[in-house]
Each structure stands twice: as structure tokens, then as C-alpha cells.
Amino acid sequence: MSVAKKQYKRITTKSLVDMKAHGQKISMLTAYDYTMAKIVDGANIDVILVGDSASNVMAGHETTLPITLDQMIYHASSVVRGITRSLIVVDLPFGNYQSDPKLALRSAIRIMKESGGHAVKMEGGSEIKQSIKRILNAGIPVMGHLGLTPQSIYKFGTYTVRAKEEEEAIKLMEDAKLLEKLGCFALVIEKVPAALAQKVAESITIPVIGIGAGNGVDGQVLVTHDMLGMTHEFNPRFLRRYLDMYDQMKDAFQRYSADVKSGDFPSDKEQY
Ligand code: KIV
């Protein structure tokens, strides 16, 4: 007999842990602006990630490294104004937490105060332990991020699947347990073998949200612009496209342009 799924009026970090405990999968998508956030929230997506992927998607950079704390705060505050239910997690940008735990805390406090987001996300495990501890001690919830961590792209050299070798897989498992022990409320695992991601999810009580990490984890995250098909260049195997917005938008723009140039728009009914 199937058990009725609990409805959550407002998603909190605690609801996510609760959802995992009850076998309820977690949905997460990115948003970087008010209008998109309003739609994503209206669709009852549990978590909205204001990802540093804004650096790629919104600003056209090749990597996530250039985006600044001020830019992340701008995106996050726009998203916060659009939501009523989703939990808002904001990426701490590259350079704001790796070198100095005090700077990490100052950056996380700025995100919480100036954007109104509900939690921060940080890439890495034992290397950033002190920064995570300091932020958690200040009462700010932290979501971890392991596996393919795009802020380390120049160390990896490629966006290929991580932790295929035993040594890296062991480190990933140890890091996941460390993040749980430190008090992180959830973690993202990106682009690792499905069997490893499932093993991690089964070994810890906090939710594991996967991207390119198979179906044995506690939830899934995608970049919204990718799943809407707004880009044609990015075609990883893990991506499922729910629309082809690139073609649909281009077609709309072309029809509008043709209507303007032919004088068909605006019509009598579309003027005062
Ligand atoms: O920045 C981002 O969008 C992310 C997701 C890919 C998990 O970190």
C-alpha cells in the first residue's frame, strides 16, 4: 500500500532531511532571476539553487570562476522576491571561502543578510572543513557539493565523470561522511558513477541530491536553462530536456521581426 506523501507549506532544511527519512525524493532546479524563480516556485520545486552557473548561463563566461559575491547577492535577492515555498540555496562563489574561514563567514553572512537566501552551498570536503565549521557555528545552513566541482575545473582539466578510480571514490565517501558529521543539511554530488552515488546516499542520513549521479540518490538537480532546452551546445548524457525553448524562442523572435518589418504589428487592436 502506498503511503500518502506529506505536503510541505514551506520547505526548510529540516523538511529535506525529513523527506529523505520518509523516502520522498527532492526536486531542485536553478534560478537566477525573479521571473524564473516565480515559475519554478509555482511548480512546487522543493529547492531553488542560485547557482554560480549564473556565471555561464547569465553572463556567458566559460567557467564559474569569474562570478563575484556582489553578483551572486544580486541574483539571489531577485530570486528570493519571487518565491513563497521553495528553499533558496545560494552558491558561495570561488575565492570567497577556500583561503580563509573568516572571509568565508563574512561572505556567507553577506549572502544571508543582503539576499534573504536560506542557506549556502560550498564545493569541497576536508580541504574546506574550517570554513564550513565557522559558517555552521554562526547558524547558517550549509549544503555540500562533491564529485565534479566546477570551481576546480582547472585542477581537473576536464568536465568528465569523477571518482571512477578507487582512491577518489574513497575520498568522496569520506568527505560525504565528514560533511554530515560537521552538520551540513544536504549535499550535491555531481557527475560520478551511479553505484558510488547510491552507496554514499545509503551511508549518510542527510539527503544527497544528484546531477549526473544516477537514480539511487535522494533527489535530482538540473540547470533550468539546460532542461528547458535554451542551449543547444551543452549535451551531457545526464541531461533530460523537457522543452526545446531555443527553437521556440528563436521562432517567436523571427515571427515578431517579420511582423514589425511588414507593418503587420501593431494592428488596430494593439494601439490606443
Ligand atoms: O551552479 C550550479 O548550477 C550547480 C549545480 C550544477 C548543482 O552547482
- The CB of 56 under 6 Å from ligand 1? The reply is no
Q: What is the mean pLDDT of residues 229-241?
A: 94
Q: Could you tell me if residue 231 is inside a domain?
A: yes
For residue 136, what are the contacts with CB-CB under 8 A and spacing of at least 6? Answer: 142, 182, 183, 184
206 and 262 share one domain: no
Task: Indicate the number of domains in the chain.
Answer: 2
Give me the chain's average pLDDT, please: 97
Best residue for ligand 1 mutational test, from 52, 90, 224 (most atoms within 8 Å of Cβ): 52
Q: Sorting pLDDT into bands at 50, 70 and 90, what band is 1?
A: very low
Q: Could you tell me if residue 161 is inside a domain?
A: yes
175 and 263 share one domain: no
- The CB of 143 under 6 Å from ligand 1? The reply is no
Q: How many Å is the Cα radius of gyration of the chain?
A: 20
Q: What is the mean pLDDT of residues 28-47?
A: 98
Distance (Å, whole) CA 30 – CA 223 = 5
147 and 256 share one domain: no
Residue whose CA is closest, atom 2 of ligand 1? 51
Q: Tell me whether the omega of the peptide bond preceding residue 266 falls within 30 degrees of 0, making it cis.
A: yes
For residue 131, what are the contacts with CB-CB under 8 A and spacing of at least 6? Answer: 97, 98, 100, 101, 104, 105, 122
Q: Is the pLDDT of residue 26 over 60?
A: yes
Angle at 115 between CA 52 and CA 123, to 5 degrees: 30
21 and 104 share one domain: yes
Q: Sorting pLDDT into bands at 50, 70 and 90, what band is 7?
A: confident
Residues facing 211 on adjacent strands: 190
Residues facing 91 on adjacent strands: 121
- The CB of 125 under 6 Å from ligand 1? The reply is no
188 and 267 share one domain: no
Q: Could you tell me if residue 261 is inside a domain?
A: yes
77 and 190 share one domain: yes
**Domain extent for 264:** 244-272
